[in-house]
């Protein structure tokens, strides 16, 4: 095969790879945009906190979802992709600049999700992987000889290829790990030893004295995935006889709104706690304004005069229980059947095991 033919094949290979990455990213961004407009959430792995991220203040600019800007980025990127074959110097520079903007934007959003939201979104990682690899491909194309000289200096070319390539590999690795760990982890021996009475000691939603099975929902009222799944599971439990739902709070120490609400929950009479949780989980997002509004509505109710130390001890008991069971993330469901057998599962699996889907 001649040198010219090998170079032509290499150019087309880079172009086709870029087209696949761009099309994949465009599909993801378009899907997330449509889901956002519909007010729904895409399927998420239980451990990747994508519900938190996709409903956070970083998920949109005004009324427009960030994913919509991603779709625009991929559309423009696909329109510039022919330069990877023609190797026109001006077009290569434009494509390189455009791909660098996407790479930097994806890096910023990934950093925000890790530092501010303390989690990752599997959909966002997939898109970030596409952007990183696209930047690497444009860097590779820019390292080629165009006319009398390369488009970029040798040192710049090296960084243009290595930086996004390493970033893409890291994001790809995170994707692979996330896909393998979609079910919550737990300590089987600790679960077997704990008594059912201690396990199900939580807030019944609502109380069902005749129930023979119990779903223990370990969750955080500020967790986006918990806010998504709890009302849906609750609705199916309400429509299923013989099964009751118990809520146990696993509230993170840095979730101030959640701590305020859980403290109030523990001060309410047992017959009011169920209604309070319905109010708390009524929306899929919770900010300081919503928290203040809920507390204001419920502060006039009969509140037990429980010492702060006792409330702190109850909160710590729930946290210690989840730690002893090896439950590191929420939401996590422990299903106790009529024979006393305990099974840990994701909220999605518990939801599927309950009654047939109902209209939301």
Establish if 257 belongs to a structural domain.
yes
Q: Residue 97: its pLDDT value, please? A: 87
β-pairing verdict for 145-146 and 149-150: antiparallel
Decide if pLDDT at 177 tops 50. Answer: no
Q: Which residues are within 8 A (CB) of 120 and not within 5 positions of it... i.e. 6 or more apart?
A: 48, 49, 50, 53, 110, 113, 114, 174, 178
305 confidence band (pLDDT: 50, 70, 90): low
**163, 180, 197: which is the final residue of a domain?**
180
| Same domain membership, residue 156 and residue 84 | yes
Q: What CATH number is associated with residue 210? A: 3.40.30.10
Establish if 174 belongs to a structural domain.
yes
- Determine the structural domain holding residue 127 and report its residue range: 3-180
Decide if pLDDT at 162 tops 70. Answer: no
Domain count, the chain: 2
Q: Are 229 and 348 in contact (CB under 8 A)?
A: yes
Establish if 344 belongs to a structural domain.
yes
| Same domain membership, residue 303 and residue 202 | yes
Q: What is the CA radius of gyration of the chain?
A: 25
Establish if 137 belongs to a structural domain.
yes
| Same domain membership, residue 100 and residue 227 | no
Given phi > 0 = left and psi -120 to 50 = alpha, else beta, which region is 20? alpha
**121, 148, 180: which is the final residue of a domain?**
180
Q: What CATH number is associated with residue 60? A: 1.20.1440.130
Select, from the ranges 50-54, 70-74, 130-134, the one with the highest average predicted confidence (pLDDT).
70-74
Average pLDDT of the residues in 98-116: 83
| Same domain membership, residue 86 and residue 212 | no
Compute the distance between CA of residue 281 and CA of residue 265 in angstroms, rounded to an integer.
13
Establish if 359 belongs to a structural domain.
no
273 cis-preceded (ω within 30 degrees of 0): no
CA dihedral 276, 282, 284, 287 (to 10 degrees): -60
For residue 260, give both structure tokens.
Answer: 């305020």
| Same domain membership, residue 197 and residue 164 | no
257 confidence band (pLDDT: 50, 70, 90): confident
260: Cα within 13 Å, side-chain hemisphere: 17
| Same domain membership, residue 198 and residue 158 | no
Q: Are 83 and 7 in contact (CB under 8 A)?
A: no
| Same domain membership, residue 335 and residue 318 | yes
Three-state SS at 333: strand
Three-state SS at 338: coil
| Same domain membership, residue 337 and residue 219 | yes
Q: Residue 174: its pLDDT value, please? A: 46
| Same domain membership, residue 57 and residue 15 | yes
Establish if 360 belongs to a structural domain.
no
| Same domain membership, residue 147 and residue 53 | yes
**123, 146, 180: which is the final residue of a domain?**
180
169 confidence band (pLDDT: 50, 70, 90): low
Establish if 222 belongs to a structural domain.
yes
Instruction: Specify the pTM.
Output: 0.56
167 cis-preceded (ω within 30 degrees of 0): no
Decide if pLDDT at 49 tops 60. Answer: yes
| Same domain membership, residue 85 and residue 198 | no
Establish if 311 belongs to a structural domain.
yes
91: Cα within 13 Å, side-chain hemisphere: 15
| Same domain membership, residue 106 and residue 210 | no
Q: Residue 239: its pLDDT value, please? A: 84
């Amino acid at each position: 095969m001649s040198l010219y033919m090998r170079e032509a094949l290499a150019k087309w290979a880079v172009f086709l790879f870029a087209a696949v990455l761009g099309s994949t990213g465009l599909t993801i961004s378009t899907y997330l945009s449509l889901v956002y407009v519909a007010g729904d959430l895409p399927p998420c792995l239980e451990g990747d906190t994508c519900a938190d991220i996709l409903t956070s203040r970083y998920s949109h600019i005004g009324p427009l979802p960030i994913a919509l800007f991603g779709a625009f980025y991929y559309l423009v990127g696909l329109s510039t992709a022919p330069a990877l074959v023609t190797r026109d110097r001006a077009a290569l520079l434009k494509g390189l600049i455009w791909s660098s903007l996407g790479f930097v934007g994806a890096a910023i959003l990934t950093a925000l999700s890790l530092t501010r939201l303390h989690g990752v979104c599997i959909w966002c990682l997939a898109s970030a992987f596409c952007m990183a690899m696209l930047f690497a491909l444009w860097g590779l194309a820019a390292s080629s000889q165009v006319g009398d000289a390369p488009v970029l200096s040798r040192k710049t070319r090296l960084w243009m290829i290595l930086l996004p390539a390493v970033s893409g590999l890291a994001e790809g690795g995170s994707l692979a790990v996330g896909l393998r760990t979609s079910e919550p982890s737990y300590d089987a021996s600790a679960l077997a030893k704990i008594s059912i009475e201690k396990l199900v000691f939580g807030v019944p939603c609502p109380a069902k004295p005749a129930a023979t099975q119990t779903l223990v929902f370990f969750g955080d009222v500020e967790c986006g995935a918990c806010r998504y799944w709890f009302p849906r599971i609750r609705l199916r439990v309400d429509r299923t006889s013989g099964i009751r739902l118990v809520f146990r709070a696993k509230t993170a120490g840095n979730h101030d709104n959640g701590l305020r609400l859980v403290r109030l929950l523990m001060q309410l009479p047992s017959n009011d706690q169920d209604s309070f949780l319905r109010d708390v989980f009524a929306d899929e997002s919770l900010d300081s304004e919503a928290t203040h509004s809920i507390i204001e509505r419920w502060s006039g109710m009969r509140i037990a005069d429980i010492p702060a130390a006792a409330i702190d001890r109850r909160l710590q008991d729930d946290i210690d229980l989840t730690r002893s069971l090896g439950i590191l993330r929420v939401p996590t469901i422990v299903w106790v059947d009529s024979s006393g057998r305990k099974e840990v599962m994701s909220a999605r699996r518990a939801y599927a095991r309950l009654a047939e889907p109902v209209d939301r």
